[in-house]
Amino acid sequence: MVEPTTQTSAAVREIEVPPGALALCTLARIDYQNAVIAEFDGVADRTAEQWARATLEDHPTAMREAMTNGFGALGVRLGPIPSDDHVLGWQVRQRTPDHVLLGAGSAIGLLPEIVVQRADGALVFAYFNQQETDEARTRWAAAEHTHVPAMIRLLQHAVDRFHAGR
């Protein structure tokens, strides 16, 4: 489906952002983008939104709090948790069985979006942001090095829990 750029584990790896995921992003400008992928039997057993919830919400309370605190440190304004219209506070902006687009507001001009997309036995978890201010650029630069490894761990956790429950 997509050429890998970094092999990090048997199931989840970093890839170039697929054109289909990029096309779902609604930001006026993309200053940062990345994606990770898991290819396995069973992707179609859940909707993209269910996979997003498994990836972001299906964690112990301490981990969810650490994630929301991390988003807060980047100036991301999260919505209600729990909510049918939010995934860990990220607003559901678009949803179909095959993709979900999540977005959030910003206190400092860091506008983020997440796309979770399933297709052809693969699950893509993509992130985009637009950096409107010097503060947004500075905060993102300090956090960027942790982002891909965190996305890999989150998606790997969701895939592992899925397989454990089969």
pLDDT at 166: 63
pLDDT at 165: 83
pLDDT of 7 higher than 80: no
Q: Do residues 41 and 55 lie in contact, with contact meaning Cβ atoms separated by under 8 Å?
A: no
The model's pTM is 0.92
How do residues 61-110 score in pLDDT, each as one tens digit?
A: 999 999 999 999 999 999 999 999 999 999 999 999 999 999 999 999 99
Strand order in the sheet with 90-95: 4-6, 12-15, 32-39, 122-131, 110-119, 99-103, 90-95, 86-87
What residues have CB less than 8 Å from 32, skipping those under 6 apart?
Answer: 127, 128, 129, 131, 140, 144
Please tell me the total count of domains within the chain.
Answer: 1
**Other CB atoms closer than 10 Å to residue 129's CB: what's the count?**
25
Q: How confident is the model at residue 3 (pLDDT cuts 50, 70, 90)?
A: very low
Q: Which tokens is 97 given?
A: 């069985």
pLDDT at 11: 84
What residues have CB less than 8 Å from 66, skipping those under 6 apart?
Answer: none
pLDDT at 101: 99
Peptide bond into 82 cis (omega under 30): yes
Say which CATH number the domain at 145 has.
3.30.530
Print the domain residue range for 85. Answer: 4-164
| Average pLDDT along the chain | 93
- In angstroms, what CA-CA distances link 115 with 61, 96, 125, 148, 164? 23, 12, 6, 14, 25
**CA–CA gap between residue 86 and residue 78 (Å, rounded):** 9
pLDDT of 6 higher than 80: no
pLDDT of 114 higher than 80: yes
141-145: which pairs have CB atoms within 8 A and are 24 or more residues apart? 143/70, 143/73, 143/74, 144/32
**CA–CA gap between residue 43 and residue 163 (Å, rounded):** 11
How do residues 50-61 score in pLDDT, each as one tens digit?
A: 999 999 999 999
How do residues 9-43 score in pLDDT, each as one tens digit?
A: 348 999 999 999 999 999 999 999 999 999 998 99
CA quadruple 133, 134, 139, 144: dihedral sign:
positive
